[in-house]
Chain A
């Protein structure tokens, strides 16, 4: 055993490898390649390529259905449709803290999260609580039929109103 350990000490170039060391390297190398392949395979297999999730683009109805100066929660789409003097905007109803569905509190004029107590203004700005970011605004436009459309996958900078 003693002289074997001495042999395993690196002696410089690849020529110094004896047959045992060579096969150990081949074996370890093959296992590493196979392990890497397995990891890539597993990652790809576990990531679904097709998702049967609702479309991020939702039709939220005609602008007339929203009274002036109102905040309306669409709980299915998890968005607020806000109508103010300058126009319409949509912002997420999903709390930026840990993803709970927030609620509009008309008596206080704020958006509040029931899970951990974050509070937001109607424009999405954080007033209180653990939420790290304001509620993002989503891209909104008028469809050809005159309905308001919201793309929940496209956050935009705040204060871009849809004027009707």
Chain B
């Protein structure tokens, strides 16, 4: 069975359609593997090779990859939630209740979105701390550190804008408090609050603005900066490994 399956897959990879899409063709050589990465629009952001040592769990705890995983879950569940949610004052809260009690699997998707959002904030902080304490922010990676800080802010803004959307008491007062914190900015504070809420009160305009920010502007910005973040890892010489410590590592990297 296994034999026939691999033969089938090999035939598929050798087919004209497959080869028109994936130009690297069949093969197991290092050159072939490098071509697979280089000729794929998503994979080419990454290095074609990495030191075996940096792929150990202890080096990164896979925190960046886990954060990206949480982001992917959030995009998928978020798009599905959008199909049942209207960003309007009379409907927002009841749509959220419908998702919890009426829509099939709605409570699962909503909770998955909510918990992944919490997880993403935690993971981003953990990733930042891990990078900081390993010293992986140092040159030549200082620009990627800055991109990472931008991504931290985008994560927090995504979290904050999403918090208003259920339109319950918690959401309303959290955004009231948050927008008043924004108005503490010297000179421009009240303008910032006015633009943020689209008015003087947390009301229909604020709900719509937060919805557009949460579902369009901030995710697009996050995707752009994530792409730059990943690409810069390759450009800055791969994941930060530090100096080899054991003789075996030194031997392997000679």
Q: List A residues at the B interface (Cβ < 8 Å).
A: 43, 46-48, 51-53, 97-100, 115
- 6 A-B contact pairs sorted by A residue (CB < 8 Å): A46-B195, A51-B200, A53-B199, A98-B181, A99-B176, A99-B177
**A46 CA to B213 CA, complexed, in Å:** 13
With both beta carbons as reference points, the residue of chain B lying nearest to A97 in the complex is identified as B180
**A43 CA to B188 CA, complexed, in Å:** 12
Contact among B180, B195, B203, B205 for A99, CB-based, below 8 A: B180
User: Which residues in A have their C-beta under 8 angstroms from that of B173?
Assistant: 100, 115
Q: List B residues at the A interface (Cβ < 8 Å).
A: 173, 176-177, 179-181, 194-195, 198-201, 203-205
**A122 CA to B204 CA, complexed, in Å:** 32
Q: Are the C-beta atoms of A98 and B199 separated by less than 8 Å?
A: no
Q: Are the C-beta atoms of B200 and A115 separated by less than 8 Å?
A: no
User: Which residues in A have their C-beta under 8 angstroms from that of B195?
Assistant: 43, 46-47
Contact of A98 with B203 at beta-carbon distance under 8 Å, contacts A46-B195, A48-B198 already known: no
Contact among A46, A53, A97 for B203, CB-based, below 8 A: A53
**A115 CA to B178 CA, complexed, in Å:** 12
**A98 CA to B200 CA, complexed, in Å:** 14
User: Which residues in A have their C-beta under 8 angstroms from that of B199?
Assistant: 48, 51, 53
User: Which residues in A have their C-beta under 8 angstroms from that of B204?
Assistant: 52
Contact of A98 with B180 at beta-carbon distance under 8 Å, contacts A51-B199, A53-B200, A53-B201 already known: yes
Q: Are the C-beta atoms of A98 and B177 separated by less than 8 Å?
A: yes
User: Which residues in A have their C-beta under 8 angstroms from that of B179?
Assistant: 99
CB distance from B206 to the nearest CB of A (A): 11
**A97 CA to B203 CA, complexed, in Å:** 20
**A46 CA to B198 CA, complexed, in Å:** 7
CB distance from A38 to the nearest CB of B (A): 15
CB distance from A48 to the nearest CB of B (A): 6
User: Which residues in A have their C-beta under 8 angstroms from that of B176?
Assistant: 98-100
With both beta carbons as reference points, the residue of chain A lying nearest to B195 in the complex is identified as A46
User: Which residues in B have their C-beta under 8 angstroms from that of A51?
Assistant: 199-200, 205
The 10 closest A-B pairs by CB, nearest first: A99-B180, A98-B180, A98-B177, A99-B176, A51-B199, A46-B195, A53-B201, A48-B198, A53-B199, A100-B173
User: Which residues in B have their C-beta under 8 angstroms from that of A97?
Assistant: 180
**A47 CA to B199 CA, complexed, in Å:** 8
**A51 CA to B204 CA, complexed, in Å:** 10
Q: Are the C-beta atoms of B201 and A47 separated by less than 8 Å?
A: no
**A97 CA to B173 CA, complexed, in Å:** 13
User: Which residues in B have their C-beta under 8 angstroms from that of A46?
Assistant: 195, 198
